[in-house]
Structure 1
Amino acid sequence: MNPLTTPIDMMQPPRLVFGRGTAAEAGRWLEQCGSRRPMVVTDTFNAARVGSLGLPGDPIVWGELAGEPTTDDLARVIAAAEAAKADAVVGFGGGSSMDLAKLVGVLSGSDQSFSEVIGPEKVAGKKLPIVQVPTTAGTGSEVGTRALVTDLAKAAKCAVQSRHMLADLAVVDPDLALGMPRSITVATGVDALAHCVEAFTNKKAHPLIDIYALEGIRLAGRWLAKAAQDLDDPEARAGMALASLYGGYCLGPVNTAGGHAVSYPLGARYHVAHGAANALIFPHVLAFNAPATSQRTAAILEALGLPVSSEPARVFAAARDWCVQLGCEMRMSALGVPESALSDMAREAHAIRRLLDNNPRDLGEADILAIYRAAF
């Protein structure tokens, strides 16, 4: 954990609009910018709701995303943007849609390939204005500078980080999540929580980010169960939208740690939804890290309204019970992951140094395998 005097660099979109009924601000902004061929990157469900954005001109809707983005998806969407001569890009959906939109914004019409920009700050520049409009409360990707894509050849998630992928406008309209199914509400909500928790217990934790992280945890503790119980509760949706937004603020200068690293192979190998994978892993890594972050672990449980402890077994029980009560699936075997793959997955997770090096306690390959076996 860093002292207050430690330098930190935090980037935020130049404009952010938050609140009920604000989705059409995306169209108004694009019209003011002179856009006539905006391209919307979205999924099959949200493709039918693009009208809520009030887009100007002759918008192109690319609604072919069916899951978490792959290198094939990226190749197809960039080809579509270039063929349509898109003059702006809008990410409309969850983190997958918004991450693809970021990459369209910097790679459409560029001489750079995806493989050339993997890693930090390798993107040459922005090619299209980027607008982000989330429809779920999970990733906080609308305010982030990273994009994750699964490389099908490597069966691994690859991250691109660039200041050029920061949105020019982010519009967070909580009403877009009204009626979202309970399973998606819960999985995305725990993902937002995990961003805040992992930033708060991170080696890079910083007082500037702690305020967002801890408040994001409190918001999830207050509103996630209510959003899952009443799918049309606008206040609960707004509370979770704010929790997700705060989690997005945490990702830029601090990022996640062991929890996300351990969860990634579930998605890359077996297409387990990112939020569901994080929910499954969350109590295990929180408990594992407790001896190294006892005060902060206790603060997390208190913020969630759970019995305060820093003893690993009690931390695990409290966090797991909370996830179970929300309706999360907490058995890896039920998510289609074979037991025979656990060793390979542990080796792959242990190689994700960009996240594991942030973890407050060394998480070795044997430790990861033990978590997988306990979660199986």
Structure 2
Amino acid sequence: MNRHITINQPARLEIGAGSVATVGAWAGDAQRVLVLTVDILRDKVASLGLRGAVTVYDDIPPEPDDRALERALDVAGELKPDLIIGLGGGSVMDIAKLVAVLWDRGQSLTDVIGPNKVAKRLSRLALIPTTAGTGSEAGIRALVTNSETQAKMAVESPFMGADLAVLDPELTFSVPAAVTAATGIDAMAHCVEAFTNIRAHDMIDSYARMGIGLVGKYLRRAVENGSDTEAREGMMLASYYGGICLGPVNTAAGHALAYPLGTRLHLPHGLANALIFPHVLAFNQPDRPEKTAEVLSFLGLKAGAGTEHVSAEAHAFCASLGVDMKLGNHGATEGDLRSWAEEAHAIRRLMDNNPRDMSIDQVEAIYKAAL
């Protein structure tokens, strides 16, 4: 508690089944609205109840790079929107945040990489998640991939906080079971990595505990019955809590190891985190035995000490949700692992948060264990 932290959250938060219908009234008389989304969600735009001229741009890829951002900026620059809405998963919401502060080209992406380099907000911003995983709607950070190096570039600014965030579980009913499982594990990983972080804080620990507990209670139900409103809402709240954890604490080695799987294998972010989660949780157990025991308890897993027990329990949890936990089945080969280990090890903004120091050899060993 002796470390100063700042928590940024949306100015307004709407939660509950049908809450997406509040967007139109909130938007009011916005004249030029840009909705950023993906093709399969185009039919959801009508449910927002927007008035005025609405432009829908749906070419946001799952792991957006700087070129994808440039295409979205071109659309926004021509439109000059007074309201931007990100309707989709974390990739869509991250692009929406960046477009909302960059579309006038007063600053470039390279100008704002890092914390607190954004000069101003250009448009009102609403973020509406349609998956329960990234928690991007809760915070002020956005990630985009460098198309040349394949490295993740992070931008963080209070100017990228949402004016409105909407957590409507009905928007997630159509998410397939496999995606529900992977994104849910991502939400859990945000909470767990913040909880066991060297920068952990008592207040953020409270959000993390609530998030992990909600995953333990509701993720399996959401996977087994996509129309379970209570479970879907519980997972959206877990994801939101994970997003709060990302701000003042952030993730650690788990996400650092997951990033090369996204950029090199083009795996969805949630799946990449699921593949890594059991191994990093177990690796960190010797330095965070009490908190690791709490994580197992929240997830309804068997108590026990030692890295092998933790790894086996966490692996079984993920696999029981239908996640194929073999990295080799997703396109990885042993020859890839050393270069990926070097790449992950170099992501110091996350690796330096890990409670236990991890060498390149140890990163490679985790990849091999996951293979």
Matched, 1:119 2:114: yes
Partner residue, 1:240: 235
Q: TM-score scaled to structure 2, two decimals? A: 0.98
Does the aligned pair in 2 maintain the 1:188–1:275 contact within 8 Å? yes
Conservation of the 8 A alpha-carbon contact between 1:38 and 1:90 = yes
Shift of 1:339: 2.2
Contact 1:133–1:172 (Cα < 8 Å) also in 2: yes
CA contact (8 A) 1:81 1:104 kept: yes
Q: For 2:24 and 2:330, how far apart are their aligned partners in 1?
A: 39
Structure 1 counterpart SS, 2:118: coil
Q: Does residue 22 of structure 1 match 2:15?
A: no
Deviation at 1:262, TM superposition (A): 0.5
Residues 244-303 of structure 1 deviation map (CA, whole Å, 9 limit, x = unaligned): 011011111111111000100011112111000000000000000000000000000001
The residue matched to 1:40 in structure 2 has which SS?
Answer: strand
- SS of the residue corresponding to residue 58 of structure 2 reads strand
Q: Shift of residue 309 of structure 1? A: 2.4
Distance 1:337 1:89 in 2: 38
Larger deviation: 298-307 or 11-20?
A: 11-20
* Structure 1 residue 7, shift from structure 2 partner: 1.9
Aligned-partner Cα distance in 2 for 1:26–1:37: 15
In 2, distance between residues paired with 1:182 and 1:317?
23
Distance in structure 2 (CA, Å) of the matches to 1:83 and 1:7: 41
Q: Which amino acid aligns with 1:333?
A: G
Q: 1:310: how far off?
A: 3.2
Match of 1:148 in 2: 143
Which deviates more, 131-140 or 113-122? 113-122
Structure 2 residue aligned with 1:89 = 84
Whichever residue aligns with residue 299 of structure 1, its letter is: E
The alignment covers a number of residue pairs equal to 371
Task: Within 5 Å, give how 1:130-279 maps onto structure 2.
Answer: 130-279=125-274
Offset of residue 337 of structure 1: 2.0
Distance in 2, matches of 1:323 and 1:362, equals 25
After superposition, the C-alpha distances for 1:4-40 in whole angstroms (9 at most, x for unaligned) are 2332111111111111100022221111xx3111101
Q: Deviations over 1:316-368 (max 9, x none)?
A: 00000000100112111111123211111000000100001110000111110
Is 1:8 the equivalent of 2:5?
yes
Let me know the Cα RMSD of the aligned residues. Answer: 0.9
Checking the alignment, whether the CA contact within 8 Å between 1:221 and 1:303 is kept in structure 2 is yes
CA distance, structure 1, for counterparts of residue 357 and residue 104 of structure 2: 42
Would you identify which runs of 4 or more consecutive aligned residues in structure 1 move more than 4 Å?
A: none
Does the 8 A contact of 1:90 with 1:133 survive in 2?
Answer: yes
Matched, 1:62 2:50: no
- The superposition leaves residues 68-117 of structure 1 with CA deviations (integer Å, 9 ceiling, x where unpaired) of 21111100000001112221110100000000000000001132111111
Is 2:331 the counterpart of 1:336?
Answer: yes
Deviation by residue 1:121-168 (Cα, 9 ceiling, x = unmatched): 111111111100001000100011111111111111111111110111
C-alpha displacement at 1:211, in angstroms? Answer: 0.8
Do the aligned residues in 2 keep the contact of 1:156 with 1:269 (CA within 8 Å)?
no
For residues 183 and 43 of structure 1, what CA distance do their matches in structure 2 show? Answer: 19
Unpaired runs of at least 5, structure 1: none
- Corresponding residue of 1:363: 358
8 Å CA contact 1:295–1:310 kept in 2: the answer is no
Q: Distance in 1 between matches of 2:73 and 2:190?
A: 29
Distance 2:63 2:254 in 1: 18
Q: Structure 1 residue 315 and structure 2 residue 310: aligned?
A: yes
Instruction: Measure the CA separation in 2 of the matches of 1:158 and 1:7.
Output: 25
Matched, 1:280 2:275: yes
Give the stretch that moved more between structures: 22-31 or 130-139: 22-31
Give the structure 2 partner of residue 291 of structure 1. 286
For residues 230 and 303 of structure 2, what CA distance do their matches in structure 1 show? 27
Counterpart-to-counterpart distance in 2, 1:56 and 1:194: 38
Task: Provide the rounded CA distance (Å) in 1 between the counterparts of 2:149 and 2:172.
Answer: 33
